[in-house]
Structure 1
């Protein structure tokens, strides 16, 4: 399987595992003395990025070679599983070439093994190079020590299996990638032609292509697809399947096949497979041990999920940063809520959007300029922070909060803030977080009743993670997609050498010129 087949756009050596296995089985063991004598020269010819790992492996083995024919066969089996991680095995392993050059095979095999292992454990690219602000907890693995221990314990396959994330989010998305690759190999689905809106109850000659597409992705059953084959009517059964498709893609699920839905229908199976590959890479960057109680915000989907005891127990819609004011990828602790918070307006927003409108605007929005020159909005019904703020420590002035602008929660494209995260039903969510301590909950409720600004500690730290997932598995086990509103897929794809062609986002509501909230 080559790099082009996996959608990475560049052809590389094709693996022929059977032939390589036969050749490697006939390779004589490397003489330790000969190997050690030539080690430095061979290691120096490796890519600089891998030299330190390879040297560390042989420091741990005391300079002894590690690759036998049996271990090489296990490594071939490991390589054969690379596709489920959306990784082209040919980028790491050339078993035929190794068998043809026994003199360098030992070190080159180790270089391939540690390179592949590090990609599984930590990703192919450094996240800071493809995101303007990325401050998450990275995964970090001692690859040389792990490899040598796995070889010594005859657990090479198990070790490789545990390097990539093993959580359900990654494994389900990996399975989704395999499914979309199968669809691609089978010829994909028929192209859906852009045109006028298809209204419920009408007929259209694009319906057969629509049926085939919905069957391929599972929004419509195969039996229903057979029954509707050749039909041009857009009836109720098909409308229900379209609403399923719209929900998976974060579109308004009204059953109307308008411009936004048509653009999403225009993506090919290969497009979606490549998008999944990008999101698998993002997940490999992150540390594996997660706080069992945490708040995760997917800024691409504008959805928040609250995890308790390692399980998702609550979800809300959110409004996140606009394209011009993107919410960054952050991981910060949260330990208090502020009831009825005033808003100290960041200087940039004040200079650009508030002060030029004059004192009348400030007065109408319950704002004033304090002694230090900051614009402050008083707590109350007009406060852009609403009735509660969730404070994050050292978060570059990024936090979660309530908002008086409730209408944006009903939109599909909710990237509209100045970078902070506005939470739907925020007061109710704050009460949920404070529920384990009745005294703190009562303190919060009292503050809401008397409209006094009050800070209430949670009594525990809760991790908040701001993530960017444009492909993920939803609660029904289906792969859900969001378009690349921040263009981070495009930047990551360029770094990985993947050609992507994803639909453009279509906003489903006008911007509010009076909305200056964070």
Structure 2
């Protein structure tokens, strides 16, 4: 996606929204990466390899299994360093509270260090314990070679520092975690209600927000808090603002832990040009050169119709797409209306009762997919698309789809993706106006990330939170804690 001359720029309010809703993904180090990683690369087809002349199979020679690589011997200084490092799991969001236990040494300490390294590099929770819709799978990682080299070269501090994600978003969460743990350890915050005094409200806001000034109107401080929570910044202490302020600090910590874990699932470097959706905030952001350049509101899956977390590549755009209604939606929402009503509303029923019937909504201005559909491979049959229902984009509650991502400005996004093709650049609306259904292959596939960010830090270090509509934060935080406890138990059982 060549978008170095992006013509689409949103208003200041939406750019501010992008800076909040899409956490910073700027690299702390490393060179730019290619546009699209081979996420779905396949091995070459065997048909392309010339057939070899038949021959007798080689004799089977039994081989003994390779001996396990011995763990390196640790010096006294290295032992002290690793013990201290392992005690810092709370700082990395691997446990909500500092754990204590007998000091490990020797091979038991080395195994505990390898386990911690794996947790920091690719996540604490094993992928076997993921929900199906957590389809963002971290890469495999073997920490042993690096650990052995670090011990032998006496470079354990450098090795351990290299394990965490090198993203500003992760570092911001790590700093935020320390802040909120400090708030918790100091007693948390008081609960507010509609009768709270201005002094009580100011005191509550100041616990999280240190950017206020003397004599600042209370409405300005409330607006700042509402923006941090993704609420309509009215400056009034309404019910939703009270609810956000009354979220227990332990839940805020759980959200930070969960989002740190999701950062650990990401590859060590992202394509510098990509489309990224924050599912929880319902915002799509276009990144160019690893910096957000434009953003638009989106509508994502409602609770019960969760938009999955995944990574893929947008390979084509369908202009004037028909909607092949998924069987689950047809059964739940359309078939109960009756065949006559469906036909009257413009749906077509394809097939026969004997062979199986399905419902299709023809392309047109009233199609649920609107005029554009952005296709990318995934096992959930979700995609980005236009919609004729525009009112929801003005709302601060935009989780209302069946799992796909509806776009506020799909034509502008399509123009960005095709502008490298001289035959397509500037022609998207003309293709739509023809009314013909056609698939447009992109000149270059575009990486797309559907991510679930509910906690992220602003450039000044202030934490921002979004609602956890799918209740994934607490669940993931509990899985992190359970996995950490299991790892500690195994380490202790291995002996010294």
TM-score normalized with structure 1 length: 0.74
Distance change in 2, residues 1:271/1:357 (3 Å): closer
In structure 1, distance between residues paired with 2:459 and 2:338: 48
Distance change in 2, residues 1:320/1:64 (3 Å): closer
Q: How far off is 1:136 after superposition?
A: 1.8
In structure 2, distance between residues paired with 1:128 and 1:320: 26
Give the aligned partner of residue 286 of structure 1.
266
Residue in structure 2 matching 1:85, options 89, 92, 99: 92
Q: How far off is 1:76 after superposition?
A: 4.2
1:12-49: per-residue Cα shift (whole Å, max 9, x none)? xxxxxxxxxxxxxxxxxxxxxxxxxxxxxxxxxxxxxx
Q: How far off is 1:496 after superposition?
A: 3.2
Give the aligned partner of residue 192 of structure 1.
191
Q: Does 1:106 find its partner at 2:112? A: no
Do 2:184 and 2:250's aligned partners in 1 also have CA atoms closer than 8 Å?
yes
Q: How far off is 1:110 after superposition?
A: 0.8
Give the aligned partner of residue 145 of structure 2.
145
Residue in structure 1 matching 2:406, options 422, 426, 442: 422
1:240-267: per-residue Cα shift (whole Å, max 9, x none)? 2211211111112222222111111102
Q: How far off is 1:459 after superposition?
A: 1.4
Distance change in 2, residues 1:412/1:434 (3 Å): same
Q: Does 1:214 find its partner at 2:194? A: no
In structure 2, distance between residues paired with 1:206 and 1:108: 56
Q: How far off is 1:79 after superposition?
A: 3.7
In structure 2, distance between residues paired with 1:476 and 1:403: 36
Residue in structure 1 matching 2:229, options 237, 246, 249: 249
Q: 1:301-380 alignment to 2 at 5 Å? A: 301-371=281-351, 373-380=357-364
Q: How far off is 1:139 after superposition?
A: 3.0
SS in 2 for 1:369: strand
May I ask how many residue pairs the two structures share in their alignment? Answer: 414
Q: Does 1:452 find its partner at 2:439? A: no
In structure 1, distance between residues paired with 2:96 and 2:227: 34
Distance change in 2, residues 1:294/1:300 (3 Å): same
Q: How far off is 1:88 after superposition?
A: 4.4
SS in 2 for 1:370: strand
Q: 1:261-280 alignment to 2 at 5 Å? A: 261-280=241-260
In structure 1, distance between residues paired with 2:203 and 2:128: 40
1:205-253: per-residue Cα shift (whole Å, max 9, x none)? 43222212222222652x42xx47xxxxxxxx21122112111111122
Q: How far off is 1:482 after superposition?
A: 1.6
Distance change in 2, residues 1:331/1:408 (3 Å): same
Give the aligned partner of residue 238 of structure 1.
218
- More off after superposition, 332-341 vs 281-290: 281-290
Do 2:305 and 2:401's aligned partners in 1 also have CA atoms closer than 8 Å?
yes
The runs of 5 or more residues in structure 1 that have no matched partner are 1-55, 99-104, 196-203, 229-236, 499-518
Distance change in 2, residues 1:65/1:132 (3 Å): closer
SS in 2 for 1:351: helix
- More off after superposition, 460-469 vs 437-446: 437-446
Do 1:131 and 1:488's aligned partners in 2 also have CA atoms closer than 8 Å?
no
Distance change in 2, residues 1:65/1:343 (3 Å): closer
Q: How far off is 1:59 after superposition?
A: 4.2
1:343-378: per-residue Cα shift (whole Å, max 9, x none)? 111122122211221345324432111246221111
TM-score normalized with structure 2 length: 0.77
1:391-422: per-residue Cα shift (whole Å, max 9, x none)? 01134211110111111122222221111111
SS in 2 for 1:73: helix
Residue in structure 2 matching 1:66, options 70, 73, 84: 73
Do 2:310 and 2:449's aligned partners in 1 also have CA atoms closer than 8 Å?
yes
Higher helix share: 1
Q: Does 1:479 find its partner at 2:494? A: no
In structure 2, distance between residues paired with 1:59 and 1:362: 65
In structure 1, distance between residues paired with 2:210 and 2:367: 42
- More off after superposition, 163-172 vs 487-496: 487-496
In structure 1, distance between residues paired with 2:71 and 2:432: 69
